[in-house]
Chain A
Amino acid sequence: MPRTPHASPQTLRLFAALLNDPARWRYGYDLSRETGLASGTLYPILMRLAGQQLLDTGWEPSPEPGKPPRHTYRLTADGVQLARTRLAAAQERREARPILREA
Protein backbone atom coordinates (compact mmCIF):
# COMPACT_ATOMS: atom_id res chain seq x y z
CA MET A 1 0.00 0.00 0.00
CA PRO A 2 1.50 3.36 -0.95
CA ARG A 3 2.16 5.68 1.97
CA THR A 4 0.17 8.87 2.31
CA PRO A 5 2.61 11.72 1.77
CA HIS A 6 2.90 14.51 4.36
CA ALA A 7 1.19 12.47 7.09
CA SER A 8 4.04 11.79 9.53
CA PRO A 9 3.55 12.95 13.13
CA GLN A 10 6.40 15.43 12.62
CA THR A 11 4.82 16.92 9.52
CA LEU A 12 1.47 17.11 11.29
CA ARG A 13 3.07 19.01 14.16
CA LEU A 14 4.52 21.46 11.65
CA PHE A 15 1.15 21.81 9.91
CA ALA A 16 -0.51 22.56 13.23
CA ALA A 17 2.06 25.26 13.99
CA LEU A 18 1.77 26.85 10.56
CA LEU A 19 -2.03 26.79 10.69
CA ASN A 20 -2.14 28.83 13.92
CA ASP A 21 -1.97 31.95 11.80
CA PRO A 22 -1.64 30.88 8.16
CA ALA A 23 -1.03 34.41 6.83
CA ARG A 24 1.98 35.12 9.04
CA TRP A 25 5.54 34.53 7.81
CA ARG A 26 7.39 32.23 10.21
CA TYR A 27 11.09 31.71 10.98
CA GLY A 28 12.73 28.28 11.08
CA TYR A 29 14.00 28.72 14.63
CA ASP A 30 10.57 29.73 15.96
CA LEU A 31 8.93 26.79 14.20
CA SER A 32 11.53 24.49 15.72
CA ARG A 33 10.78 25.84 19.21
CA GLU A 34 7.03 25.68 18.72
CA THR A 35 6.92 22.17 17.27
CA GLY A 36 9.79 20.74 19.32
CA LEU A 37 11.33 19.41 16.10
CA ALA A 38 15.13 19.44 15.78
CA SER A 39 16.53 21.38 12.85
CA GLY A 40 17.56 18.13 11.18
CA THR A 41 13.93 17.02 11.15
CA LEU A 42 12.30 20.36 10.51
CA TYR A 43 14.32 21.54 7.51
CA PRO A 44 13.97 18.42 5.38
CA ILE A 45 10.19 18.69 5.86
CA LEU A 46 10.25 22.36 4.94
CA MET A 47 12.34 21.56 1.87
CA ARG A 48 9.92 18.87 0.79
CA LEU A 49 6.87 21.09 1.26
CA ALA A 50 8.51 24.00 -0.54
CA GLY A 51 9.56 21.74 -3.40
CA GLN A 52 5.95 20.74 -3.93
CA GLN A 53 4.62 24.31 -3.82
CA LEU A 54 2.85 23.66 -0.54
CA LEU A 55 5.03 26.19 1.25
CA ASP A 56 5.97 29.76 0.28
CA THR A 57 9.46 30.87 1.20
CA GLY A 58 10.88 34.35 1.43
CA TRP A 59 13.87 36.25 2.72
CA GLU A 60 13.46 38.94 5.32
CA PRO A 61 16.36 41.38 5.67
CA SER A 62 17.70 41.51 9.18
CA PRO A 63 16.99 44.75 11.07
CA GLU A 64 20.58 44.82 12.29
CA PRO A 65 23.15 45.62 9.61
CA GLY A 66 25.75 42.95 9.01
CA LYS A 67 23.44 40.10 10.02
CA PRO A 68 22.30 37.76 7.27
CA PRO A 69 18.68 37.91 6.05
CA ARG A 70 16.37 35.31 7.58
CA HIS A 71 14.42 32.72 5.62
CA THR A 72 10.66 32.83 6.22
CA TYR A 73 7.86 30.37 5.54
CA ARG A 74 4.12 30.16 5.25
CA LEU A 75 1.74 27.69 3.67
CA THR A 76 0.40 28.30 0.18
CA ALA A 77 -3.34 27.97 -0.47
CA ASP A 78 -2.75 24.37 -1.52
CA GLY A 79 -0.63 23.84 1.56
CA VAL A 80 -3.32 25.18 3.90
CA GLN A 81 -5.86 22.88 2.30
CA LEU A 82 -3.63 19.85 2.53
CA ALA A 83 -2.63 20.63 6.12
CA ARG A 84 -6.29 20.87 7.19
CA THR A 85 -7.08 17.58 5.41
CA ARG A 86 -4.17 15.76 7.04
CA LEU A 87 -4.87 17.10 10.51
CA ALA A 88 -8.54 16.21 10.22
CA ALA A 89 -7.65 12.68 9.09
CA ALA A 90 -5.24 12.30 12.00
CA GLN A 91 -7.91 13.53 14.40
CA GLU A 92 -10.34 10.99 13.00
CA ARG A 93 -7.81 8.18 13.40
CA ARG A 94 -7.16 9.17 17.00
CA GLU A 95 -10.86 9.12 17.79
CA ALA A 96 -11.32 5.78 16.09
CA ARG A 97 -8.58 4.21 18.19
CA PRO A 98 -8.66 5.89 21.59
CA ILE A 99 -6.22 3.41 23.14
CA LEU A 100 -3.45 4.62 20.89
CA ARG A 101 -4.03 8.27 21.73
CA GLU A 102 -0.80 10.21 21.82
CA ALA A 103 0.47 11.05 25.25
Chain B
Amino acid sequence: MRRAVRVILVRAVRGRREQGGPWGEAVLAEFDQTRGGWESLSWAAGGLRAVFQERFSAYAPRNRRIVATAVIGMVSLLAINQFVLTARYAPSGSMAPTVPVAGRFLLDKASFRVTGLHYGDVVEFPIPAAPDQHTIKRVVGLPGDTIDCRDGRVFRDGKAVDEPYLAAGSRTDCAPATVPAGKLFVLGDNRLSSADSRQWGPIDETDVDGRLLATF
Protein backbone atom coordinates (compact mmCIF):
# COMPACT_ATOMS: atom_id res chain seq x y z
CA MET B 1 0.00 0.00 0.00
CA ARG B 2 2.79 2.44 0.90
CA ARG B 3 4.32 2.01 -2.51
CA ALA B 4 1.03 2.60 -4.32
CA VAL B 5 0.30 5.68 -2.22
CA ARG B 6 3.79 6.98 -2.93
CA VAL B 7 3.33 6.57 -6.68
CA ILE B 8 0.06 8.53 -6.56
CA LEU B 9 1.66 11.31 -4.54
CA VAL B 10 4.65 11.52 -6.89
CA ARG B 11 2.30 11.79 -9.86
CA ALA B 12 0.31 14.53 -8.16
CA VAL B 13 3.39 16.50 -7.15
CA ARG B 14 5.40 16.20 -10.33
CA GLY B 15 2.91 15.33 -13.04
CA ARG B 16 5.02 14.99 -16.17
CA ARG B 17 7.72 17.34 -14.87
CA GLU B 18 11.06 16.27 -13.46
CA GLN B 19 10.51 18.34 -10.30
CA GLY B 20 7.32 19.50 -8.66
CA GLY B 21 6.82 22.77 -6.82
CA PRO B 22 8.86 23.29 -3.64
CA TRP B 23 5.95 22.54 -1.30
CA GLY B 24 4.96 19.42 -3.17
CA GLU B 25 8.54 18.21 -3.06
CA ALA B 26 8.63 19.02 0.65
CA VAL B 27 5.57 16.84 1.33
CA LEU B 28 7.08 14.12 -0.79
CA ALA B 29 10.44 14.19 1.02
CA GLU B 30 8.68 13.88 4.38
CA PHE B 31 6.68 10.91 3.09
CA ASP B 32 9.63 8.63 3.88
CA GLN B 33 9.30 9.58 7.55
CA THR B 34 5.78 8.23 7.90
CA ARG B 35 5.34 4.79 9.42
CA GLY B 36 2.84 2.18 8.38
CA GLY B 37 0.21 2.16 5.70
CA TRP B 38 -2.43 4.32 7.32
CA GLU B 39 -0.13 7.09 8.36
CA SER B 40 1.38 7.22 4.90
CA LEU B 41 -2.11 7.36 3.40
CA SER B 42 -3.27 10.24 5.56
CA TRP B 43 0.00 12.07 4.97
CA ALA B 44 -0.41 11.69 1.22
CA ALA B 45 -4.09 12.70 1.29
CA GLY B 46 -3.23 15.90 3.16
CA GLY B 47 -0.28 16.37 0.84
CA LEU B 48 -2.60 16.28 -2.17
CA ARG B 49 -4.53 19.13 -0.64
CA ALA B 50 -1.34 21.10 -0.09
CA VAL B 51 -0.18 20.43 -3.66
CA PHE B 52 -3.56 21.56 -4.97
CA GLN B 53 -3.24 24.81 -3.01
CA GLU B 54 0.27 25.34 -4.26
CA ARG B 55 -0.68 24.86 -7.88
CA PHE B 56 -3.71 27.09 -7.82
CA SER B 57 -2.49 29.82 -5.52
CA ALA B 58 -1.44 31.61 -8.73
CA TYR B 59 -5.03 32.80 -8.88
CA ALA B 60 -5.59 35.73 -6.58
CA PRO B 61 -7.86 34.83 -3.62
CA ARG B 62 -10.42 37.31 -4.88
CA ASN B 63 -10.70 35.52 -8.20
CA ARG B 64 -10.86 32.19 -6.44
CA ARG B 65 -13.74 33.44 -4.33
CA ILE B 66 -15.62 34.60 -7.41
CA VAL B 67 -15.04 31.30 -9.16
CA ALA B 68 -16.03 29.32 -6.06
CA THR B 69 -19.19 31.41 -5.66
CA ALA B 70 -20.11 30.95 -9.30
CA VAL B 71 -19.51 27.19 -9.24
CA ILE B 72 -21.34 26.62 -5.96
CA GLY B 73 -24.17 28.88 -7.11
CA MET B 74 -24.51 27.07 -10.43
CA VAL B 75 -24.44 23.63 -8.85
CA SER B 76 -27.05 24.55 -6.25
CA LEU B 77 -29.28 26.18 -8.88
CA LEU B 78 -29.11 23.03 -10.98
CA ALA B 79 -29.89 20.91 -7.94
CA ILE B 80 -32.82 23.15 -6.97
CA ASN B 81 -34.12 23.12 -10.52
CA GLN B 82 -33.83 19.35 -10.62
CA PHE B 83 -35.21 18.43 -7.22
CA VAL B 84 -37.07 21.35 -5.65
CA LEU B 85 -38.61 23.93 -7.94
CA THR B 86 -38.75 24.30 -11.68
CA ALA B 87 -40.73 26.13 -14.38
CA ARG B 88 -42.71 24.22 -17.00
CA TYR B 89 -45.08 24.80 -19.89
CA ALA B 90 -48.49 23.20 -19.97
CA PRO B 91 -48.17 20.67 -22.80
CA SER B 92 -51.85 20.83 -23.74
CA GLY B 93 -55.04 22.74 -23.12
CA SER B 94 -56.53 19.99 -20.97
CA MET B 95 -56.12 22.09 -17.80
CA ALA B 96 -57.75 25.23 -19.26
CA PRO B 97 -58.91 27.62 -17.91
CA THR B 98 -56.62 27.12 -14.86
CA VAL B 99 -53.53 26.66 -17.06
CA PRO B 100 -54.04 27.56 -20.73
CA VAL B 101 -52.20 25.65 -23.41
CA ALA B 102 -48.49 26.63 -23.36
CA GLY B 103 -49.16 28.48 -20.10
CA ARG B 104 -46.19 28.61 -17.74
CA PHE B 105 -46.33 27.31 -14.20
CA LEU B 106 -44.02 26.69 -11.27
CA LEU B 107 -43.71 23.05 -10.29
CA ASP B 108 -42.93 22.23 -6.67
CA LYS B 109 -41.14 18.88 -6.70
CA ALA B 110 -40.43 18.52 -3.00
CA SER B 111 -43.11 19.69 -0.60
CA PHE B 112 -45.86 17.25 -1.61
CA ARG B 113 -43.60 14.42 -0.49
CA VAL B 114 -43.85 15.85 3.02
CA THR B 115 -47.38 17.20 3.11
CA GLY B 116 -48.99 14.53 0.97
CA LEU B 117 -51.49 15.25 -1.82
CA HIS B 118 -54.94 16.71 -1.26
CA TYR B 119 -58.16 17.14 -3.24
CA GLY B 120 -57.80 19.89 -5.79
CA ASP B 121 -53.98 19.72 -6.06
CA VAL B 122 -52.71 19.90 -9.63
CA VAL B 123 -49.99 17.31 -10.16
CA GLU B 124 -47.51 16.54 -12.91
CA PHE B 125 -46.79 12.95 -13.98
CA PRO B 126 -45.95 10.92 -17.08
CA ILE B 127 -48.93 10.04 -19.26
CA PRO B 128 -49.59 6.31 -18.65
CA ALA B 129 -50.22 5.71 -22.35
CA ALA B 130 -47.05 7.61 -23.39
CA PRO B 131 -44.65 7.72 -20.43
CA ASP B 132 -42.07 9.89 -22.19
CA GLN B 133 -44.54 12.79 -22.17
CA HIS B 134 -45.61 14.53 -18.98
CA THR B 135 -48.92 16.23 -18.30
CA ILE B 136 -50.72 18.01 -15.48
CA LYS B 137 -54.12 17.08 -14.02
CA ARG B 138 -56.14 17.80 -10.91
CA VAL B 139 -56.46 15.28 -8.06
CA VAL B 140 -60.16 14.45 -7.65
CA GLY B 141 -60.01 11.09 -5.90
CA LEU B 142 -57.67 9.72 -3.24
CA PRO B 143 -57.30 6.02 -2.31
CA GLY B 144 -60.58 4.51 -1.12
CA ASP B 145 -62.80 7.12 -2.81
CA THR B 146 -65.59 6.19 -5.17
CA ILE B 147 -65.91 8.61 -8.08
CA ASP B 148 -69.08 8.89 -10.12
CA CYS B 149 -70.68 11.40 -12.48
CA ARG B 150 -74.35 12.38 -12.63
CA ASP B 151 -76.00 15.19 -14.56
CA GLY B 152 -72.57 16.42 -15.73
CA ARG B 153 -71.21 16.78 -12.16
CA VAL B 154 -68.60 14.77 -10.28
CA PHE B 155 -69.67 12.88 -7.13
CA ARG B 156 -67.15 11.63 -4.58
CA ASP B 157 -68.53 8.93 -2.26
CA GLY B 158 -72.00 10.00 -3.29
CA LYS B 159 -71.51 13.73 -2.54
CA ALA B 160 -71.30 16.35 -5.27
CA VAL B 161 -67.81 17.87 -5.51
CA ASP B 162 -67.59 21.66 -5.46
CA GLU B 163 -65.41 22.57 -8.42
CA PRO B 164 -65.00 26.36 -8.61
CA TYR B 165 -62.01 26.01 -10.95
CA LEU B 166 -64.13 24.76 -13.87
CA ALA B 167 -65.28 27.03 -16.67
CA ALA B 168 -68.93 28.09 -16.42
CA GLY B 169 -71.24 25.55 -18.06
CA SER B 170 -68.65 22.77 -17.87
CA ARG B 171 -69.96 19.19 -17.92
CA THR B 172 -68.23 16.03 -16.73
CA ASP B 173 -69.15 12.55 -17.83
CA CYS B 174 -67.52 9.48 -16.37
CA ALA B 175 -68.06 5.86 -15.46
CA PRO B 176 -68.13 4.96 -11.74
CA ALA B 177 -64.69 4.01 -10.38
CA THR B 178 -63.13 3.18 -7.00
CA VAL B 179 -59.59 4.42 -6.32
CA PRO B 180 -57.29 1.58 -5.12
CA ALA B 181 -54.58 2.06 -2.50
CA GLY B 182 -51.52 3.93 -3.80
CA LYS B 183 -53.47 5.45 -6.71
CA LEU B 184 -54.94 8.86 -7.58
CA PHE B 185 -57.99 9.69 -9.67
CA VAL B 186 -57.07 12.73 -11.78
CA LEU B 187 -59.11 14.89 -14.15
CA GLY B 188 -58.21 17.79 -16.43
CA ASP B 189 -60.11 21.02 -15.77
CA ASN B 190 -61.08 21.19 -19.45
CA ARG B 191 -63.38 18.18 -19.03
CA LEU B 192 -64.53 18.00 -22.64
CA SER B 193 -61.05 17.75 -24.14
CA SER B 194 -58.99 16.08 -21.44
CA ALA B 195 -57.64 12.56 -21.51
CA ASP B 196 -57.30 11.53 -17.85
CA SER B 197 -58.31 8.86 -15.32
CA ARG B 198 -61.57 8.46 -17.22
CA GLN B 199 -59.50 6.85 -20.00
CA TRP B 200 -56.41 5.47 -18.23
CA GLY B 201 -57.90 4.74 -14.82
CA PRO B 202 -56.27 6.02 -11.61
CA ILE B 203 -52.54 6.84 -11.81
CA ASP B 204 -49.80 5.65 -9.43
CA GLU B 205 -49.04 8.03 -6.57
CA THR B 206 -45.35 7.24 -7.06
CA ASP B 207 -45.53 8.56 -10.62
CA VAL B 208 -46.26 12.08 -9.39
CA ASP B 209 -43.34 14.33 -10.18
CA GLY B 210 -44.50 17.57 -8.64
CA ARG B 211 -47.35 19.81 -7.63
CA LEU B 212 -48.34 23.03 -9.37
CA LEU B 213 -47.40 25.96 -7.17
CA ALA B 214 -48.44 28.95 -9.28
CA THR B 215 -49.00 30.02 -12.86
CA PHE B 216 -47.20 33.03 -14.32
Residues of A within 8 A of B (CB): 27-30, 32, 38-44, 46-47, 57, 62, 67-71
Contacts and interface: CB of A to CB of B under 8 A. Distances in A.
Given A28-B30, A62-B29, 14 more contacts: A28-B27, A38-B45, A39-B27, A39-B42, A42-B46, A42-B50, A43-B23, A47-B23, A47-B54, A68-B25, A68-B29, A69-B29, A70-B26, A71-B26
Contacts of A39: 27, 30, 42-47, 49-50
B76 interface: no
B46 A43 contact: yes
Nearest to A60: B29
A27 B29 CA distance: 10
A28 B46 contact: no
B55 to A, nearest CB: 11
A47 B46 contact: no
Chain B, interface size: which category?
Answer: 20 to 34
22 contacts: A27-B33, A28-B26, A29-B33, A38-B42, A38-B46, A39-B27, A39-B44, A39-B45, A39-B47, A39-B49, A39-B50, A40-B48, A43-B27, A43-B50, A44-B49, A47-B50, A47-B53, A57-B22, A67-B32, A70-B26, A70-B29, A70-B30
Contacts of B53: 43-44, 47
B22 A71 contact: yes
B136 interface: no
Contact of A47 (B30, B34, B47, B57): B57
A40 B47 contact: yes
Contacts, number: 69
Closest CB pairs A-B (n = 6): A40-B46, A39-B46, A71-B26, A43-B50, A40-B49, A29-B33
Contacts of B34: 29
Nearest to B28: A68
Interface in B1-51: 22-23, 25-30, 32-34, 42-50
Nearest to A64: B32
A48 to B, nearest CB: 9
Nearest to B30: A29
A61 B165 CA distance: 84
Given A28-B30, A47-B54, A71 B25 contact: yes
Contacts of A42: 46, 50
A43 B26 contact: yes
A66 to B, nearest CB: 11
Contacts of B30: 27-29, 32, 39, 70-71
Candidate in B26, B30, B33 with the most chain A CB atoms within 10 angstroms: B26
A41 to B, nearest CB: 7
Contacts of A62: 29
B164 to A, nearest CB: 55
B29 A71 contact: yes
